[in-house]
Amino acid sequence: MLPKLPPLRPAAIAARIDAAPNLVALFLDRAAEQPAAPMLLSKQGGQWQTISWGEARDIVASLSAALIGIGIGKGDRVVLVSENRSEWCLADLAIMAAGGISVPAYTTNTEADHRHILTNSGAKAVIVSGPKLAKNLLPAALGTEACRTVITMEPLADVQGLAIHDWARLIGARAPMLDEDRAAVRARATMKREDLACLIYTSGTGGAPRGVRQHHGAIMRNIAGAIAVIEQDFFPGDVPGELFLSFLPLSHAYEHTAGQYMPIGMGGQIAYAEGLEKLASNIEEVRPTFMVVVPRLFEVLRMRIAKQIEKQGGLAITLLNQALSIARKEAKGESLSLAEKLIDQALERTIRKSIRAKFGGRLRAMVAGGAPLNPEVGIFFTAIGIPILQGYGQTEAGPVISCNRPRAVLKMHTVGPPLGGVEVKIAPDGEILVRGELVMDGYWMNDAESHKALKDGWLYTGDIGHLDKDGHLVITDRKKDIIVNDKGDNVAPQRVEGMLTLQDEIAQAMVYGDRRPYLVGVVVPEAEWALGFARDKGLPADLHKLQHEPEFVRAIQAAVDRVNARANVIEKVRRVIIADEPFSTDNQQLTPSLKIRRHVLKQVYGERLDRLYKD
């Protein structure tokens, strides 16, 4: 069931953000208005601990003064490496408040990854959460010329050649000067919207990451556009304090903007999830109103929910099927019959009510981005009463370009209309071009790539798509990922991979076939299904051994054949191999935002995939 729309009204909060000069001033203004209100929540010792807006302001004031005291000056780059936690947000703001440039880096980075970012950015200092993440970071810092200062949130042993400063001591030492620091941080918050705020290094589905120059205005235009959607489509009156559950890496532009600065702009709260294994319990505990999620998590949740309902059997399965039928009809824009409307009302009181409770009972919507969302997954969540607002963007555009919204009619096969203040046009070859304040200034220290991406004020996204009759943007695929078969037909691999991973047997997939007569692929079996299959068939409960069992291979191919039965000729996947291990960030086969790294997978499986055309 889709949310009921309030009357259209001006987006007052969004207008206020558009008038703000920079992110630090935006934060300080919110803190001055509601110093006692909760801002940051994190689980410590089994209990949720809260930092108020006023406490956050004081920490940022003290820490920014301390950073200046240890030599961080205007324009200096400071790399930030930490798990999602309250200190991440405070450090990010403090770096900017000191006049520095924040450089978030992924916790999964290798020593070589860190060395590249430290060297390329010319970082003067690093802020790290503790010993675990320092293991790869500090050797990289020692291998650079400029980075000799380390601030650590948790105790860290001294390292020869590096000046190590303790987070708590830096802040504590400023306590006697707190009133002075409060005034000073406000006085320093004079950055302009066009001034550089941070360098976000793209996660890189191919090649070395590039530092995207995001200015204050790019992030603020993004959050203003997104908040306008929330104000106008979800609330009949003033927007109450919203609670966002932060789960995706804050080093990714998507979470950095939508998961951190959007709630700051709204004066809301941010709760930090403890990780994937505790995400479900964290959702029930903090009862978020919004979550920013990547499609891969939706696929995992869909499978888990469907299996739970299947175990309940009987009425539960009937209700789910009815909900899916109604959701598919609504997705096509078809009107519901009287009987269907009555069933829809009954579903609100039964299956949707119980599922919403599992999500905390207050969730207004989950925002999907970072990778394509299969329309069937979106329909599933709409059916069970959890609206998904699928968006589209890239780091080079702040990162949000467009987003589905109820007022514009949710179309699961699209990524919605462009946000306010965003111009989109389609180039003759189908490439999506974007213009507006959200567009980056270019890549750090990389004029050649900057000139390729930015031409006459337009960002060349590298994505292929079109605008439908209602102004919704439809993404086909990455320009460089498009497979051109030996007959010259263009095939969008992400669409085919999305159909494959909807099958219960398949968790992940990559298809292959450039300049070939047909597609082949590599698939990762769904672990729970695979072990259940092995148990039922008396086969070894070992995924490495199962991939050599003919009966298991036939079952996987049967799942592929079900997809082929619905696919057009050029999308059919004739043969597949089974992956040696799941695609993950640890083996470099996924980016930190869980997109597949095709160039890595081709290096690992290319020879075996090529043999499928010969055998």
The pLDDT value recorded for residue 5 is 67
Order of strands across the sheet with 269-272?
A: 47-52, 38-44, 269-272, 243-246, 290-293, 365-368, 388-393, 400-403
Model pLDDT for residues 358-394, shown as the tens digit of each residue: 899 999 888 888 777 878 888 999 899 988 888 999 9
What gap in Å lies between CA 134 and CA 127, rounded to an integer?
9
Helix, strand, or coil (residue 153): coil
The pLDDT value recorded for residue 11 is 86
Domains plus CATH for the chain?
483-611 (3.30.300.30)
Residue 411 CA to its chain's centroid (Å) = 20
* Residue 480 parent element (H or E): none
Decide if 248 contacts 259 (C-beta within 8 A).
yes
The stretches in the chain having pLDDT less than 70 are 1-8, 203-207, 236-240
The pLDDT value recorded for residue 506 is 95
Cα distances (Å, whole numbers) of residue 568 to 489, 565, 603, 614: 12, 8, 28, 23
What gap in Å lies between CA 535 and CA 545, rounded to an integer?
13
Model pLDDT for residues 2-19, shown as the tens digit of each residue: 556 666 677 899 999 999
What gap in Å lies between CA 118 and CA 139, rounded to an integer?
11
Decide if 174 contacts 181 (C-beta within 8 A).
yes
Helix, strand, or coil (residue 609): helix
> Alpha-carbon Rg of the chain, whole angstroms?
25
Strands (E), 70-162: 77-81, 101-104, 125-128, 149-152
Helix, strand, or coil (residue 423): strand
End-to-end CA distance of the chain: 50
Model pLDDT for residues 300-343, shown as the tens digit of each residue: 888 888 888 888 888 888 999 999 999 998 888 888 899 999 99
The pLDDT value recorded for residue 460 is 96
Residues 6+ apart with CB under 8 A from 227: 11, 13, 14, 17, 239, 262, 265, 266
Cα distances (Å, whole numbers) of residue 126 to 46, 113, 165: 29, 14, 10
What gap in Å lies between CA 320 and CA 111, rounded to an integer?
48
Of 136, 176, 168, 167, the closest CA to residue 149 belongs to 167
